[in-house]
Amino acid sequence: MSVDLLLGLQWGDEGKGKIVDVLTQDYDIIARFQGGPNAGHTLQFDGVSHVLHTIPSGIFHPKAVNIIGNGVVIDPVIFQKELEKLTPFGVDFSNKLFISKKAHLILPTHRLLDAASEAAKGKAKIGSTLKGIGPTYMDKTGRNGIRVGDILLEDWKDRYQQLRDKHLNMLSHYKNIIDFDLDELESAFFESIEQLRGLKLIDSENYLHQALKDKKKILAEGAQGSLLDIDFGTYPFVTSSTTTAAGACTGLGIAPNVVGEVYGIFKAYATRVGSGPFPTELFDEIGETMGRVGHEFGATTGRARRCGWIDLVALRYAIRVNGVTQLMMMKGDVLSGFPTINVCTHYQTADGKIDHLPFSIAPKDVTPVYETLPGWEEDLTKMTDEAAFPKNFKDYINYLENALETPIKIVSVGPDRKQTIFR
């Protein structure tokens, strides 16, 4: 048996939550492998929209087991709120939500350090979600972090205090003083730690190894997108984890040779939230329309997302880095009504026209080269079958499939579970 991966191929917000939710019926286990509450995975069904940050997107299915892997960073306060939001929907997570003891904890002072670091960067800020993600992964790789399993140890508060004091010392070196009430933050933190202690804390890699032996079907759910990957993204405007396929191995403890299908999700256009280069970004009415029609506002921060045309150079790169075997195209419906659609096929650089992602994609280094395709007028949101698609939309899908040399297996035409067309 193998582990299938589901990854975002752009700058996040591709619609991973929806697709995991749709695919969960075919899987026994859904496992998150990186990121933390910076993610906002939106699921919509029965007229209700749910946003998950840390909890895997299989939680609403009655049978699937959901695992938060060792590669994830957990803010217990946000996690507690997320769990509370599940209660009115009758979700009993007690026997189907397991958390790796090796996952790292986001402390209140990690969040403060994130805020201080961003403020100090001024114009060069990353545009972080300010959830403490960067500082927590820094403590992980710096071998100072606190893991979920540590909260079961007798001296856990000493460990906490040691790290907190180190953080307070670091904060005192920042020129921009951040206002905070640590007592208040700590009181919420310790209350949520008590709740976390009562959940199923496990050696998740061992659980997954056994599940593989028992021939269970496992889906690894990525967060953010390939272009935000710490190594392969648009550094330094990236997140602090491995968002690409390799992250599923390190973030769950699974070997590369058990990876089966790699599902790559992309939007029919492109969006980015936060700072950093975005070659196909639109600053005109077309970009505004995409944002309005596509409701392009961050599920975690509410910030307006920057919008632009699809970038095949970046997508090809993401497909290669991840070994994508099947594509899923989201939000094709948002492009209805544009007379023509631009597709970025190459970048013009000082060294000529290239079709691979270079070291820098800053505006001074690359200019997008477009091919223009005809648009379509029809509303796609009520279509339930590929046969109903207008010719120009079908041509758009075929064009992308050919250019990306990978089959597009799912086309999503709206946020609801039902608005999903399998090809």
The residues that touch ligand IMP, with contacts defined as CB under 6 A, are: 11-13, 38-40, 126-129, 131, 133-134, 223-224, 228, 237, 239, 273-274
Question: In angstroms, what is the minimal distance from the CB of 275 to ligand IMP?
Answer: 6
Q: What separation in angstroms does the CA of 83 have from each of 79, 96, 189, 195?
A: 6, 13, 15, 10
CB of 291 to ligand IMP, least distance (A): 14
Q: How far is the CB of 216 from ligand IMP (least distance, A)?
A: 27
* Beta carbon nearer to ligand IMP, 121 or 159: 121
- Distances in Å between the Cα of 54 and the Cα atoms of 59, 101, 106, 264, 400 are 11, 15, 12, 20, 32
| Shortest CB 239 distance to ligand IMP, Å | 3
**Comparison of 13 and 82: residue with beta carbon closer to ligand IMP:** 13
**Least Cβ distance, residue 332 to ligand IMP (angstroms):** 20
Nearest distance, CB of residue 37 and ligand IMP, angstroms: 9
Place of tokens 């492109």: 270
* 41 catalytic residue (yes or no): yes
Task: Please indicate whether residue 110 is annotated as part of the active site.
Answer: no
First-to-last alpha carbon distance for the chain, in angstroms, is 24
Cβ-closest residue to ligand IMP? 274
38 vs 204 by CB, closer to ligand IMP: 38
Of the pair 38, 342, the CB lying nearest ligand IMP is at: 38
Query: What pairing do the DSSP bridges indicate for beta strands 104-105 and 218-221?
Result: unpaired
- The tokens describing 190, both together, are 């310790």
- CA atoms 38, 44, 50, 52: torsion sign: negative
Q: Checking DSSP bridges between strand 367-374 and strand 340-349, what pairing results, if any? A: antiparallel
Q: Which of 359, 332, 329 is nearest to 347 (CA)?
A: 359
How distant, in Å, are the alpha carbons of 42, 223, 418 from that of 57? 8, 11, 16
Query: Given the complex with ligand IMP, which of 225 and 368 has the nearer CB atom?
Result: 225
Looking at beta carbons only, is 248 or 421 nearer to ligand IMP?
248
**How are the residues of the chain apportioned to helix, strand and coil, as percentages rounded to the nearest 5?**
35, 25, 40
- Choose the catalytic residue: 41, 50, 61, 346: 41
Contact 261, 325 (CB under 8 A): yes
Determine which one of 13, 114, 139, 229 is catalytic: 13
Determine how many CB atoms are found less than 10 A away from the CB of residue 45: 15
Q: How far apart are alpha carbons 58 and 56 in whole angstroms?
A: 6
Q: State the catalytic residues.
A: 13, 41
